[in-house]
Every structure is written in C-alpha cells, then in structure tokens.
Amino acid sequence: MIKKIICGVVSLVLLGLFVFVNNYSIAQEETGSSSVTISGKVYCRNCRGGQQIKISARASMGRDASDIASVEIPGPGEYSLKIPKNAGDVYLIAAILLPQGKSSARDGATLGTHDGGVKVKESDITGVDITIAGYKPATMATYKGPTVNIYGKIIYPEFKEGQQIMISVKSSSRPGPPDIAVLNLPSPGDYSLRVPQNAGDVYIQAIIMWPDQRIFSKNNVTLRYRMNPLRIEDRNIMGVDIAR
C-alpha cells in the first residue's frame, strides 16, 4: 500500500515537472521571437470606399528602397505589421493600391508616411499612425505615355517636427486640387517628381500642414516655385526649388 502511495506521489511530481518544463520552453520560444509588431492607424480624408491600402516598412525613403515587410488593409483604419527585430531604423509608408494591384506610389508618389523613422528594438511598437494627405490625381494614376522627372529642393527653415509637406503640380494657377501630380514628403530637402512629358506649362507649389488639417486650411503654409509656370518638354528638369 505504501509503495503504491509513493509511486503515485512520484508520478505526480514527475508530471508537474514535465508541465513546468514544457511551459518554460514555450515561454522561452515566445520571448525569443525574431520579430516585433508595429501597429497604428492609417488616416485618409479623400479615400474612396473599396480602396486597398498597402503599408510598407523600408530602410530608407529612397525611390529604389525595397520593402522589409508589408501588409494590406481594406481601407483606412487600424493595421498591424510584423518586422524583424534586427531591422534597425525603418520608415513606414502607406499607398493606395490601384485596381490592378499595383501601388499608386509607383505611379507618381508615396501617398503617406509616418513622421520620421521608427527605431525597432525588442518590444512591440504601438501608435505609429500614418496620414495619407492630399489627392491622387487621375492623370498619373492612369497615364501610360512618356514622362520626365523634376528635381529640386523644398526650402522651409521654419518646418516643425510632425508637419507634413505635399508638393502639387497643376495645369492652372487657380485654386483647386492638383490635376497632374502630387508628392508627399516627411520633411524639407531634396525631391524628385514624375510628370507626363506632354504636360506643357505647369504650376508647382508645396503645402506645409499638420496631419489633422485639411488641404485648403487657412493655417497651412504655401511655398511656390518662383519661376512658375514651368515648361515641361522632353527632358528632365533640375533645380526646381520651392520656397516662400
């Protein structure tokens, strides 16, 4: 009888030890995960219903930078993106997907970016919100003909952290949304913008705004290319600086 009791106690101890070791191993595996999660919201005042949005993490804001990780969501709202722990500083970009599944960022410009880079460490990161500001002109979204690039700088020493910049290219100097091309930037500096080769005379300006402001808010600051209108022909154009 005593032997049976001892055997039963030993069995329970061994079972408890097995459960402890198993749970410890699982916890270690979870702690040692090779990825973290970045999450937040995508805001877009001008998005239409049914538009897919792709959120990408990249090592730089360069035009040729490739995605470290990406996820698609069925419109503005919450997103969650897994990314390797060793990614370092990354930039979050949101772009509306065209019906063919191609990113509209490839047809003119990045549509929205988080303010500055995100430093990836050991823990998950929350509250990384992205605002898609401005309009996506139909011209560049559907244009299939030859294009040229415009290169220049945004010059605005008064820029404050958290503000956003929207460069617009229009066929008229009259007030209204851009109808040729648009480019969103996280800060002043160099830019490049693609436009149709047959655009003719265009008017280029940049709007400095806060993420929660509308495009035509009276609180926004407008910068302009001082030699407007700019004649678009069959070659790239350098030195198109935009300032006050």
DSSP class of residue 107?
Answer: G
Q: Is residue 224 part of a domain?
A: yes
Express each pLDDT in 177-213 by its tens digit: 676 888 888 899 999 888 888 888 899 999 898 765 5
Q: What is the pLDDT of residues 156-166, one digit of tens each?
A: 999 998 888 88
Maximum Cα–Cα distance for the chain, whole Å?
Answer: 102
Q: Which pLDDT score is estimated for 116?
A: 56
End-to-end CA distance of the chain: 95
CA separation for the pair 149, 109 (Å, rounded): 12
Tell me: the pLDDT tens digits for 122-154? 889 888 877 775 444 445 655 667 889 999 999
Which whole number is the average pLDDT over 216-224? Answer: 79
Give me the domain span that covers residue 77.
Answer: 35-132
Q: What is the percentage of the chain residues whose pLDDT exceeds 70? A: 63
Same domain for 113 and 148, yes or no, is no
Domain end, chosen from 112, 132, 152, is at: 132
What mean pLDDT is predicted for residues 106-128? 66
Averaged pLDDT for residues 24-47: 65
Residue 6 lies in a domain: no
Q: Are residues 48 and 121 in the same domain?
A: yes
What percent of the chain is helix, strand and coil (3-state, nearest 5)?
15, 40, 45
Q: What is the CA radius of gyration of the chain?
A: 25
118 located within any domain: yes
What does pLDDT average to over the chain?
75
CA atoms of 146 and 82, how far apart (whole Å): 38
Residues 124 and 188 in one domain: no
CB 207 within 8 A of CB 217: no
User: How many residues would you count in the chain?
Assistant: 244
- Lowest average pLDDT, out of 70-74, 135-139, 229-233, goes to 135-139
**Closest by CA position to 235, among listed 197, 200, 202:** 197
Summarize the confidence of residues 40-68 as an average pLDDT. Answer: 74
Contact 197, 234 (CB under 8 A): yes
The whole model's pTM is what? 0.46
Model pLDDT, residue 5: 53
124 and 145 belong to one structural domain: no
Do 146 and 226 reside in the same domain of the chain? yes
The domain total for the chain is: 2
Beta strands in the chain (DSSP E): 35-44, 53-58, 67-73, 77-84, 89-96, 112-113, 118-119, 130-132, 147-154, 164-170, 181-185, 189-196, 200-209, 221-224, 230-232
pLDDT confidence of residue 214:
54
**Rounded-to-integer distance, Cα 224 and Cα 240, Å:** 10
pLDDT of residue 152: 94
Residue 155 and residue 109 share a domain: no
Same domain, 116 and 180: no
Say how far apart CA 53 and CA 71 lie, in whole Å: 8
